[in-house]
Amino acid sequence: MNKTFNYIRRSTVSVPVGNIPLGSEWPVRVQSMTNTATDDVLASAAQCQRIAYAGADYVRLTAQGVKQAESIGDISRLLRAKECNIPLIADIHFNPQAAITAAAICEGVRINPGNFVDPARSFKQLDYTPEQYQAELDRIREALVPFIAVCREHGTAVRLGVNHGSLSDRIMSRYGNTAAGMVESVMEFLRVFVSEQFFNVVISMKASNVVVMVEAVRRLVHAMDQEDMHFPLHLGVTEAGFGEDGRIKSAVGIGALMAEGLGDTIRVSLSEEPEMEVPVARKLVDYISQRQGQPVIEGDYCQGYDPLCPGRRSTVEVAGTVGGNLQPMVIASYRPDQLEGETLQPDLYYSADGLIDGMHRFLVPFSYWKGERNVCPLLTIGEWDRCPDTPLRFLQLPAATPMSRLEFLKGRNDTVLVITPTVHNIPGEQQAFTHALDQAGILCPVIVRNTYSDSSNEWLQVKAGADLGAVLLNRRADGIWLEAPSSYSGGEVVRIAFAILQAARQRISKTEFISCPGCGRTMFDLQTTVQRVQQATAHLTHLKIGVMGCIVNGPGEMADADYGYVGAAAGHISLYKGKQCVEMNIPEQDAIDRLIDLIKQGGDWREP
């Protein structure tokens, strides 16, 4: 089967993780991570149990040192005594000895190639001769070989987890803060594992920037294919955030990759209680897995398309409104009065019954169109010949429409295509259609119109995020039109549409918050703090603000934020402007006011 637009799992080796193996022979596994202090054995065991009962396959716990790694053993014994056999994975940063200790205790150990051997990232530019760089690689091997030996002895799985926010200065100096740098960071480690004939390895490539995360995973798969490696993948968007935005951001990134058959285990990282992550991840897995065995979508990429890092589809700009280099459009099936008081408003209001006003731009069915200013007709192919010339018209087509019926669109610069799905694999079919347009020389802009029947907010966020996100991340659409049942308010649906565009970095409409999910390293009450920071800064739509529980990934992820709020010690916060820490160890009760002062000093504050 042609796998270009069809859901076919990538073939991988199987990796046993306790009693639950993963890989392409098995269902996509779901996991979460505790946010309790690992030394609090009773609290951690109770939370592991809640995560397991929520439906997770694995639980990860932080182990800052040997003591915490040993505590995971105590947690395991408590869980097994309660007949909870969920595999436990130790999360290690900066401490090879803790990893070795954990490898004899846990079913899995996550190590970070960015800091397993290299010191904490300091953004220093380092220069190496070829001999010096090779010496660094030899140092990695020397640290890994004893760890691999213990993992082999105890049947322990390894996750090599690369974070965009914690690439080493050595990698940064040679590759920059790029997806290519993330790939090389993990490939250095993989080559050692392969040379040692140890294959119980899973890989993750995470970033808070969804575009970087998706590109990094794709480039990793390409690099592994070049070296005949077939390790399973763990997918996740790190620091995805809180509530609706966190769910949508995760659905966009994870969903786009799963649509390509990638991913053998996933985590939806939310700044909430960890058991809340599991149902979201389950929904995502269930929804995309249903594409297996569906009718085949024929087609291939158009000439010049780069599937690793797609450029925007080349389209004509129509009436200065949509297409070309303009930001993607949002259409909503609501009247302006149904969105009254909402901050976010669509570019076009669709009026199915032809009712309009003179103050807003409308789209109406052709049967109601009378040539009014600021009103555009929505046509079917059968209505095309009856429509007089107009600067902007919308032609709605099923995504299964053959190109032979669309020859009349060649060379037109007045028509926008509205594409509706006909199969369950919505993004596959819609993308195949846009590639067929390009192959046929039809450069009309495309709006994807997706309608969902779900009454559950979380289901709508997951489905719409995964479907529309895949099309947007691959730069195949010039706009989106999201429709949901009447039980949703217009504001909810429009907000979700804009959140999907923002997650795909296609259109920024609100403050971008980068917040970690929390773990045993977190230095403050993360959930409350995230909400307080959002309340204070949500009107700063031109900024990216990070809220990070500790310094492990904080400074790195801050590199993608304009300002950062990072846990420094218990009850104390450090504030960042870009990569630079500008205030250290501020009492937590003063930190938000000081953050506002810092934004004002930087000239970036705007009154609400």
Mean per-residue pLDDT over the chain, rounded:
92
pLDDT at 76: 97
pLDDT at 271: 82
pLDDT at 80: 97
Is the model's pLDDT at 494 over the cut of 90?
Answer: yes
pLDDT band at 560 (very low <50, low <70, confident <90, very high): confident
Contact residues for 274 (Cβ-Cβ < 8 A; gap 6+): 32, 33, 34, 35, 47, 50, 51, 517
Percentage of the chain with pLDDT > 90?
72
- The residues facing 349 across adjacent strands are 332, 362
DSSP secondary structure letters along 157-201 = EEEEEEEGGG--HHHHHHH-SSHHHHHHHHHHHHHHHHHTT---E
For 102-130, what is the mean pLDDT? 85
Instruction: Dump pLDDT digits (tens) for 184-234.
Output: 999 999 999 999 999 999 999 998 899 999 999 999 999 999 999 999 999
For 454-474, what is the mean pLDDT? 96
Domain spanning 329-503: which CATH class is it, in words? Answer: alpha beta
334 near 497, Cβ under 8 Å? no
pLDDT band at 128 (very low <50, low <70, confident <90, very high): confident
pLDDT at 71: 97
394 phi and psi, to 5 degrees?
Answer: -115, 130
Please give the C-alpha separations between residue 174 and each of 133, 140, 168, 192, 497, in angstroms, as whole numbers: 10, 17, 10, 20, 38
94 near 147, Cβ under 8 Å? no
Q: Which residue, chain included where needed, has tokens 């949509």?
A: 322
pLDDT at 562: 85
Is the model's pLDDT at 516 over the cut of 70?
Answer: no
Token readout for 173 is: 């100096």
Is the model's pLDDT at 242 over the cut of 80?
Answer: no
SS3 540: coil
Higher per-residue pLDDT: 238 or 112 = 112
Is the model's pLDDT at 504 over the cut of 70?
Answer: yes
DSSP secondary structure letters along 282-301 = HHHHHHHHTTTTPPP----P
Which spans in 259-401 are helix H?
A: 277-289
- The residues facing 298 across adjacent strands are none
Higher per-residue pLDDT: 240 or 480 = 480
For 115-133, what is the mean pLDDT? 78
Instruction: Dump pLDDT digits (tens) for 272-323.
Output: 899 999 999 999 999 999 999 899 999 999 999 999 999 999 999 999 999 9
Using only C-alpha atoms, what is the Rg of the chain?
25
572 near 524, Cβ under 8 Å? no
pLDDT at 474: 98
Cα angle value 361/505/530 (rounded, 5°): 105
Is the model's pLDDT at 63 over the cut of 70?
Answer: yes
* Cβ count within 10 A of residue 341: 6
**Rounded CA gap, 401 and 78, in Å?**
59
pLDDT at 565: 87
Every domain range in the chain assigned CATH 3.30.413.10 = 512-601
pLDDT at 345: 96
pLDDT at 122: 62
**Rounded CA gap, 343 and 355, in Å?**
23
For 176-181, what is the mean pLDDT? 89
**Rounded CA gap, 598 and 601, in Å?**
5
**Rounded CA gap, 371 and 389, in Å?**
10
Higher per-residue pLDDT: 98 or 124 = 98
pLDDT at 551: 65
Cα angle value 508/509/512 (rounded, 5°): 70
pLDDT at 479: 98
Q: Which of 331-335, 413-417, 536-540 has the lowest mean pLDDT?
A: 536-540
DSSP run (H or E) holding 396: strand 393-398
Instruction: Dump pLDDT digits (tens) for 418-428.
Output: 999 999 999 99
Antiparallel, parallel or unpaired: β 29-33 and 265-266? parallel
253 near 469, Cβ under 8 Å? yes
DSSP run (H or E) holding 463: helix 457-473
* Cβ count within 10 A of residue 324: 16
Every domain range in the chain assigned CATH 3.20.20.20 = 29-289
pLDDT at 543: 84
The CATH code of the domain at 29-289 is: 3.20.20.20
SS3 141: helix
pLDDT band at 456 (very low <50, low <70, confident <90, very high): very high
Q: For the packed helices 588-601 and 526-537, what is the interaxial angle rounded to 10 degrees?
A: 30
Percentage of the chain with pLDDT > 70?
95
**Rounded CA gap, 264 and 12, in Å?**
9
DSSP state of 367: G
Domain spanning 512-601: which CATH class is it, in words? Answer: alpha beta
Q: Which of 11-25, 210-224, 579-593 has the lowest mean pLDDT?
A: 579-593
SS3 509: coil
The amino acid that residue 556 corresponds to is G
pLDDT band at 538 (very low <50, low <70, confident <90, very high): confident
Residues belonging to the chain: 608
Q: Which residue, chain included where needed, has tokens 């506002």?
A: 596
Q: Residue 514 burial by CB count (10 A; 0-12/13-18/19+): exposed, middle or buried?
A: buried
**Rounded CA gap, 234 and 254, in Å?**
10
Antiparallel, parallel or unpaired: β 580-587 and 572-577? antiparallel
List own/partner pairs for 340-343 with CB under 8 A and 24 or more apart: 341/491, 342/490, 342/491, 342/494, 342/495, 343/510
Is the model's pLDDT at 556 over the cut of 70?
Answer: no
Q: Which residue, chain included where needed, has tokens 């909870």?
A: 84
Higher per-residue pLDDT: 516 or 484 = 484
